[in-house]
Structure 1
Amino acid sequence: MKVVSLYVDQRPPGDQSLDRAREFGFEIYPTIAEALRCGGDALAVDGVLIIGEHGEYASNELNQKLYPRYEFFKQCVEVFEADGRSVPIYNDKHLSYEFEKANEMVEDGHRLGFPILAGSSLPVTWRLPDLELPLGRRIEDALMVGVGSSDAMDYHVLEAMQCMVERRAGGQGVPEQGVSAVELIEGDEVWAAGENGRWSERLLEAALSRADSPLGLTEEDGRTQDLIGSGELRRLCENPRAYFVEYADGFKATMLLLNGAIRDYCFAALLEGDDEPVSMQFFLTPTPNVTYSACLVHKIVEMLETGVAPYPAERTLIVSGMLESFLKSLAAGKRLETPHLAVSYQPPAESQHARY
Structure 2
Amino acid sequence: MKVVSLYVDQKPESEQSEDRAREFGFTVYPTIAEALRCGGDKIAVDAVLSIGEHGVYPQNELSQVLYPRYEFFKECVKVFEEDGRAVPIFNDKHLSYNFEKAKEMVDDGHRLGFGVLSGSSLPVTWRLPDVDIPYDHELEGAVMVGVGGSDPMDYHALEAMQCMIERRKGGETGVAAVQLIDGDEVWEAGKDGRWSMELLEAALSRSDTPSGLTNEDGRTQNLIGTGELYKLVDNPAAYLIEFNDGFKATLLMLNGAVGDYCFAAKLRDHPVPISTQFFLTPTPNVTYSACLIAKIEELYETGIAPYPAERTLLVSGTLESCLKSRHQGHVRLETPHLNVEYRAPKDSQHARR
TM-score between both structures, scaled by the size of structure 2: 0.98
1:260 aligns with 2:244: no
SS at match of 1:151: coil
Residue aligning to 1:347: 344
Residue aligning to 2:323: 327
Residue aligning to 2:137: 137
CA distance in 2, matches of 1:239, 1:4: 46
Which of 283, 290, 299 is the matching residue for 1:287?
Answer: 283
Q: State the one-letter code of the partner of 2:267.
A: L
CA distance in 2, matches of 1:96, 1:164: 22
1:191 aligns with 2:173: no
Residue aligning to 1:118: 118
Residue aligning to 2:196: 200
Matches within 5 A, 1:25-64: 25-64=25-64
1:337 aligns with 2:323: no
Deviations 1:307-343 (A, max 9, x none): 1100000000000000000000111121000000001
Residue aligning to 1:237: 233
Q: State the one-letter code of the partner of 1:340.
A: H
SS at match of 1:281: strand
CA distance in 1, matches of 2:130, 2:174: 26
1:82 aligns with 2:82: yes
Distance apart, 1:75 and its partner CA: 0.3
Distance apart, 1:182 and its partner CA: 0.4
CA distance in 1, matches of 2:138, 2:69: 36
Deviations 1:240-269 (A, max 9, x none): 000011000000011100001111100001
Deviations 1:197-254 (A, max 9, x none): 1111111110000000111222233232221111111111100000011000000011
SS at match of 1:289: coil
1:317 aligns with 2:313: yes
Distance apart, 1:159 and its partner CA: 0.4
Deviations 1:12-34 (A, max 9, x none): 23222122111111110000000
Residue aligning to 1:23: 23
| Percent identity of equivalent pairs | 72
Distance apart, 1:129 and its partner CA: 0.5
CA distance in 2, matches of 1:305, 1:197: 47
1:154 aligns with 2:146: no
Distance apart, 1:142 and its partner CA: 0.7
Distance apart, 1:150 and its partner CA: 2.3
Residue aligning to 1:13: 13
Q: State the one-letter code of the partner of 2:160.
A: A
* RMSD, aligned α-carbons: 0.8
Distance apart, 1:166 and its partner CA: 0.4
CA distance in 1, matches of 2:161, 2:148: 14
Which of 189, 197, 208 is the matching residue for 1:212?
Answer: 208
CA distance in 2, matches of 1:12, 1:77: 27
The count of corresponding residues between Structure 1 and Structure 2 is 352
CA distance in 1, matches of 2:127, 2:181: 28
Consecutive unaligned residues in structure 2, runs of 5 or more: none
SS at match of 1:143: strand
CA distance in 2, matches of 1:215, 1:48: 41
CA distance in 1, matches of 2:219, 2:75: 54
1:94 aligns with 2:94: yes
Distance apart, 1:152 and its partner CA: 1.4
CA distance in 2, matches of 1:346, 1:277: 23
SS at match of 1:234: helix
Q: State the one-letter code of the partner of 1:195.
A: K
SS at match of 1:34: helix
SS at match of 2:95: coil
Q: State the one-letter code of the partner of 1:117.
A: L
Q: State the one-letter code of the partner of 2:337.
A: H
Deviations 1:117-150 (A, max 9, x none): 0000000000011101111100011110011212
Distance apart, 1:54 and its partner CA: 2.3
Residue aligning to 1:224: 220
Consecutive unaligned residues in structure 1, runs of 5 or more: none
CA distance in 1, matches of 2:243, 2:258: 27
Runs of 4+ more than 6 Å apart: none
Q: State the one-letter code of the partner of 1:130.
A: D
Residue aligning to 2:174: 178
Distance apart, 1:153 and its partner CA: 1.4
Deviations 1:268-321 (A, max 9, x none): 011000111110000000000000000000000001001110000000000000
CA distance 1:218–1:248, shift in 2 (3 Å): same
SS at match of 2:250: strand
TM-score between both structures, scaled by the size of structure 1: 0.98
